Structure 1
């Protein structure tokens, strides 16, 4: 008797060959005929399950096995998720906790192939108190490797109750210093809307995300500042590092600044054959939190919202509802955009409860700007291209990970190939080239959110110049690194 794991390497191959001779022949059991409305592969799956149920060395938890089979398939599609009944119950509780504050450590991150790149930390949250910095790379949580995992796995490792510790392993600087920190989760309450009066009676406003209460929170923040002093002469809306949220909240913010009877967005459904126009009229931006009451109705007599000069700040982390807002305000002639091209998530998701209380989320539409151009993969290009720092490495910024860098499986669309396949390879080649050259990545790092609205905020300074009629200091950009020109759609007039 010997331990196979201690066998010398030269004996492994013969052992493997000998072992294969001990496996008895297994024959698939005859299964019932496949129903005519089933895909053949579903019957194949049933045949596989029948064999494993009968002859696998251990008894298999078949429901869990099939849940995982569905999950792995669904997750390969863009922004699609399958949750079993227990996971859906947990998600419902998580959504409720998010509205009231969520236990966490207070980090804002970008999920990259090599880990979680910290974009910013929430002031006074556990991560900030422990010394976590923007630019740190988190590679493990409680010993679970985060390299190459998706957002679903990250959420599973990160979630926990208030007061529960979370051990994170991170890399910092050059050479990469390895640090291990143990943080204690605390309630992180969402603060999506803030407003602050600047010199010259310019109002700097920020939306960090688009939760359901975003419209009301934003109105309250702005109105509170308007009551404090002289009339506000201009507004800056900061949508940088805003990953989106409720699309109806984006429509509501657009309606707030543009007024009624405008096209805020057009969605294309099922092979781009069905157009659906979303307007700035109630109830196109209705959300459950509003309880049937239009939050913009009391403001219709206040024309200030629709005439005050407006500049919107965007960057490569402005995504989904954030870039939809920016695009609508730009296309409708209501605002100028300043910053760097946005992320490029131009798809909408919906969800439905399926059998046995499971839940499926899938992408059901492409979002078009009011001008008929898609955002998916392209993003929104600002009127003024301005980096986060005066001496920024613009090539490095434009090569930051965006929607265009996410590959799509070949079976995700039978009709059209991946339009960004070649561009994706070229972008990765340029990144590899920069890595070999050992360029200073600090010059291409995002501006920490704690510096937004401060004297260190170069993009804000240029926005103030634009509003004052002064020259905006833009940066020369290599055309090959800019988003490609999208194929725009002629919109129905109805």
Structure 2
């Protein structure tokens, strides 16, 4: 037994040295780290790996063990870093192209459970009544405790037509909610549009994939054809939009801006920081814009809302957004999938980091009266409450962002818009605009702005 243990120790040490220690040598040369301590920790990893292979009650697959170790290392950093094996990486690439198989839920992990950020419109999850903030506790009767986020997502995906049973813990309900969903090929229509009342263009973006900006331009063109000279403004609906590709957020923001910064990222090393600026050309041609956000608006949605708000190109209406202000870089590992690593924070044009704080609306309008009575529950649905969430550094080394220029709106208009919804008003449903309190208040505000002698347009951020 002693000989076998020594052999496994050698294997573990070789693994640690070959696959882990090698890339660290260059980093040590730059950082001047404590090499002896690092070697000791790598030996610890090798020793644990060897003991698992030699002593676990059942044979262990080496690849599974190593991939689990890598994923644990990444998920221990923050809620958004993770390891993707080759199949997961392919699935992610398919999803960003705008098509994937499964239920249609954007999720994160909290307290060992799977937390719904937002269901995607017109998918099995949305049709079954899955709601933002739901905690998925069981899949087909099996607890999700102990599963990584990737493992849970993998179980929820599957062939079209197959079913899965979700057990959900929902705020305000004493009993678990049981839902049976039939998987489908998810081809989310990421851009939806219509003309409201013949004079306001309504555009809803459900996510930011490779089709988003092209769809936005197409929607704007058709709205102009339908409304003609009657068009008074645009409502850009980003509610429950969980985000997606950074470059699409930049392009969507650029579509409504003529000049100025859109977003910047600040990484660990100053030379890795980046900044994106707008090019000339506003597809709305200066018409007033209102952006709708809520607690399900995250990441790329917050980039767009923050850019248009800072430049005073749009009025942001609704409730505070999710607060995901970090950038994840997908780094392929040849032959072994990829890692998704948090590499930077992003900042709005005025210098605000919205990490763990979110975008505060210019005009707060709740979707339901109950939303105000459950303020504590709403706060739990945001980035700041996720385990190991990055801190917001505006209060640290970075100076606090300057206040935004005041809105120049007709007297009394905002107060009329901010009235509470009727008792028992339904929750947000994009398919029923007549019962959508936030949308109706946005339309009222937009028409009031358009009717004013000097309608609000924009103010540059200096």
Q: CA deviation at 1:60?
A: 3.8
The alignment partner of 2:298 has SS state of: coil
Q: 1: distance between equivalents of 2:301 and 2:425?
A: 17
Q: 1: distance between equivalents of 2:436 and 2:5?
A: 68
Work out whether 1:389 is the aligned partner of 2:368: yes
Work out whether 1:278 is the aligned partner of 2:258: no
Greater displacement, 379-388 / 151-160: 151-160
Do 1:81 and 1:361's aligned partners in 2 also have CA atoms closer than 8 Å?
yes
Change (3 A) 1:45 1:355: farther
**Partner residue in 1 for 2:383:** 403
Q: CA deviation at 1:188?
A: 2.5
Q: 1: distance between equivalents of 2:424 and 2:145?
A: 20
Do 2:114 and 2:149's aligned partners in 1 also have CA atoms closer than 8 Å?
no
The alignment partner of 1:468 has SS state of: helix
Q: CA deviation at 1:43?
A: 2.1
Q: CA deviation at 1:368?
A: 0.7
**Partner residue in 2 for 1:80:** 81
**Partner residue in 1 for 2:61:** 61
1:469 to 443, 448, 456: 448
Change (3 A) 1:57 1:404: closer
1:368 to 342, 347, 361: 347
Work out whether 1:312 is the aligned partner of 2:291: yes
Q: CA deviation at 1:451?
A: 4.2
The alignment partner of 1:169 has SS state of: strand
Do 2:303 and 2:348's aligned partners in 1 also have CA atoms closer than 8 Å?
yes
Q: CA deviation at 1:171?
A: 5.6
Change (3 A) 1:356 1:331: same
Do 1:256 and 1:306's aligned partners in 2 also have CA atoms closer than 8 Å?
no
Q: 1: distance between equivalents of 2:265 and 2:160?
A: 40
Change (3 A) 1:167 1:264: same
Do 1:134 and 1:448's aligned partners in 2 also have CA atoms closer than 8 Å?
no
In the alignment, structure 2 segments of 5+ residues that lack a partner are 26-34, 397-421, 450-460
Two-structure CA RMSD over aligned residues (Å): 3.9
In the TM superposition, what whole-angstrom CA distance separates every residue of 1:373-407 from its partner, at most 9, and x where no partner exists?
Answer: 11111111111111112564252464232111123
Q: 2: distance between equivalents of 1:200 and 1:248?
A: 32
The alignment partner of 1:196 has SS state of: strand
Do 2:238 and 2:297's aligned partners in 1 also have CA atoms closer than 8 Å?
yes
Normalization by structure 1: what TM-score? 0.69
2:359 to 369, 380, 383: 380
Change (3 A) 1:148 1:386: farther
Q: 2: distance between equivalents of 1:307 and 1:99?
A: 31
Q: 1: distance between equivalents of 2:242 and 2:118?
A: 12
Work out whether 1:43 is the aligned partner of 2:43: yes
**Partner residue in 2 for 1:242:** 241
Q: 2: distance between equivalents of 1:97 and 1:265?
A: 24
Q: CA deviation at 1:59?
A: 4.8
Q: 2: distance between equivalents of 1:76 and 1:328?
A: 31
Work out whether 1:258 is the aligned partner of 2:257: yes
**Partner residue in 1 for 2:217:** 219
Q: 2: distance between equivalents of 1:118 and 1:53?
A: 38
What pairs with 1:23-422 in structure 2 (closer than 5 Å)? 37=25, 39-40=38-39, 41-53=41-53, 59-78=59-78, 79-83=80-84, 87-93=85-91, 95-96=93-94, 99=97, 101-106=99-104, 113=111, 116=115, 122-123=121-122, 125-127=123-125, 138-146=136-144, 151-170=149-168, 176-178=174-176, 180-199=178-197, 201-231=199-229, 232-259=231-258, 261-270=259-268, 275-281=273-279, 300=281, 305-354=284-333, 356-390=335-369, 392-393=371-372, 395-396=375-376, 398-408=378-388
Q: 1: distance between equivalents of 2:277 and 2:423?
A: 37
Larger radius of gyration: 1
Normalization by structure 2: what TM-score? 0.74
Do 1:120 and 1:449's aligned partners in 2 also have CA atoms closer than 8 Å?
no
Q: 2: distance between equivalents of 1:269 and 1:311?
A: 31
**Partner residue in 2 for 1:5:** none
Q: CA deviation at 1:104?
A: 2.7
Q: 1: distance between equivalents of 2:43 and 2:64?
A: 18
**Partner residue in 2 for 1:450:** 429
